[in-house]
Structure 1
Amino acid sequence: MEKERIVILGAGESGVGAAMLAQKQGFDVFVSDFGAIADRYKATLTELSIPFEEKKHTQELILTAIEVIKSPGIPDDVAIVKAIKKQRIPVISEIEFAKRYTDAKTICITGSNGKTTTTMLTYHILKKAGLNVGLAGNIGHSFAAQVATENFDWYVLEISSFMLDDMYAFKADLAVLLNITPDHLDRYDYKMNNYAASKMRITQNQTAADYFIYCADDEETQKALKNTTVTAKKYPFSIRKKIELGAYLEGNNLNININQLDQFTMSISELALQGKHNIYNSMASGIVAKVLDIRNSTIRESMGDIKNIEHRLEHVAKISGVDYINDSKATNVNSTWYALESVQPEVVLIMGGVDKGNDYDMLKELVKSKVKAIVCLGKNNKRIHEAFEDDVDVIVNTFSAHEAVQVAYHLAKKGDTVLLSPACASFDLFKNYEDRGNQFKMAVKEL
Structure 2
Amino acid sequence: MKRIVILGSGESGTGAAILAKRNGFDVFVSDRGKIADAYKAELAAFEIDFEEGEHTESKILNASEIIKSPGIPEKSPLIKQLRAAGIPIISEIEFAYRYKGDSKIVGITGSNGKSTTTSLLYHICQVAGIDSALVGNIGYSIARQVALDPKEYYITEISSFQLDDIVDFKADIAILLNITEDHLDRYDYKFENYIASKFKIVKNQKEDDYFIYNEDDPVIVKYMKQYLPHSILLPFTMKNEVRQGAYIKDEKMLIKFKEEQWNMNVNDFTIIGKHNQSNSMAAGIAASVMNIRSDKTRDAVTTFSALEHRLQKVLTIKGVDYINDSKSTNVNSTWFALECIDKKVVLILGGVDKGNDYSILDELVEEKVKAIVCLGVDNSLIHDHFDGMVDTIVDTSNMDDCIKACYSLAEQGDVVLLSPSCASFDLFKNFEDRGEQFIAAVKGL
Same fold flag (TM > 0.5): yes
Secondary structure at the aligned position of 1:263 is classed as strand
User: Is residue 314–residue 324 contact of structure 2 (8 Å, CA) maintained in 1?
Assistant: yes
Report the RMSD for the aligned CA atoms in angstroms.
Answer: 2.2
CA distance in 2, matches of 1:119, 1:298: 17
Larger CA deviation: 383-392 vs 188-197: 383-392
Distance 1:235 1:395, change over 3 A: same
Verify: 1:348 aligned to 2:342, yes or no: no
Secondary structure at the aligned position of 1:181 is classed as coil
Deviations 1:154-193 (A, max 9, x none): 1001001111111111111000000001011122221111
Could you tell me how far 1:372 is from its partner in structure 2? 2.1
Could you tell me how far 1:332 is from its partner in structure 2? 3.5
Could you tell me how far 1:105 is from its partner in structure 2? 0.4
Verify: 1:178 aligned to 2:214, yes or no: no
Amino acid at match of 1:308: A
Larger CA deviation: 162-171 vs 39-48: 39-48
CA distance in 1, matches of 2:376, 2:193: 33
Distance 1:322 1:248, change over 3 A: farther
Amino acid at match of 1:124: H
Could you tell me how far 1:344 is from its partner in structure 2? 3.1
Per the alignment, residue 17 of structure 2 pairs with 19
Gaps of 5+ in 2: none
Per the alignment, residue 309 of structure 2 pairs with 311
Per the alignment, residue 143 of structure 2 pairs with 144
Amino acid at match of 1:113: N
| TM-score normalised to structure 1 length | 0.93
User: Is residue 183–residue 354 contact of structure 2 (8 Å, CA) maintained in 1?
Assistant: no
Distance 1:241 1:444, change over 3 A: farther
Per the alignment, residue 108 of structure 2 pairs with 109
CA distance in 1, matches of 2:160, 2:428: 28
Distance 1:257 1:317, change over 3 A: farther
Give the one of 50, 74, 77 matched to 1:76: 74
Verify: 1:197 aligned to 2:205, yes or no: no
Amino acid at match of 1:282: S
Amino acid at match of 2:112: N
Distance 1:390 1:58, change over 3 A: same
Deviations 1:50-76 (A, max 9, x none): 111222222222122221111111111
Could you tell me how far 1:375 is from its partner in structure 2? 2.2
Amino acid at match of 1:231: H
User: Is residue 344–residue 417 contact of structure 1 (8 Å, CA) maintained in 2?
Assistant: no
Larger CA deviation: 381-390 vs 106-115: 381-390
Deviations 1:103-129 (A, max 9, x none): 210000000010011111111111211
| TM-score normalised to structure 2 length | 0.93
Per the alignment, residue 366 of structure 2 pairs with 368
Deviations 1:260-285 (A, max 9, x none): 4x222111111111111111111110
Verify: 1:288 aligned to 2:286, yes or no: yes
Gaps of 5+ in 1: none
Q: How does 1:359-398 map to 2 (within 5 A)?
A: 359-378=357-376, 380-398=378-396
Figure out how many residues of one structure are paired with residues of the other and give that number: 444
Could you tell me how far 1:431 is from its partner in structure 2? 5.4
Amino acid at match of 1:175: A
Secondary structure at the aligned position of 2:248 is classed as strand
Distance 1:414 1:289, change over 3 A: same
User: Is residue 345–residue 369 contact of structure 1 (8 Å, CA) maintained in 2?
Assistant: no
CA distance in 1, matches of 2:182, 2:357: 11
Q: How does 1:217-236 map to 2 (within 5 A)?
A: 217-236=216-235
Amino acid at match of 1:271: F
Identity %: 55
Per the alignment, residue 118 of structure 2 pairs with 119
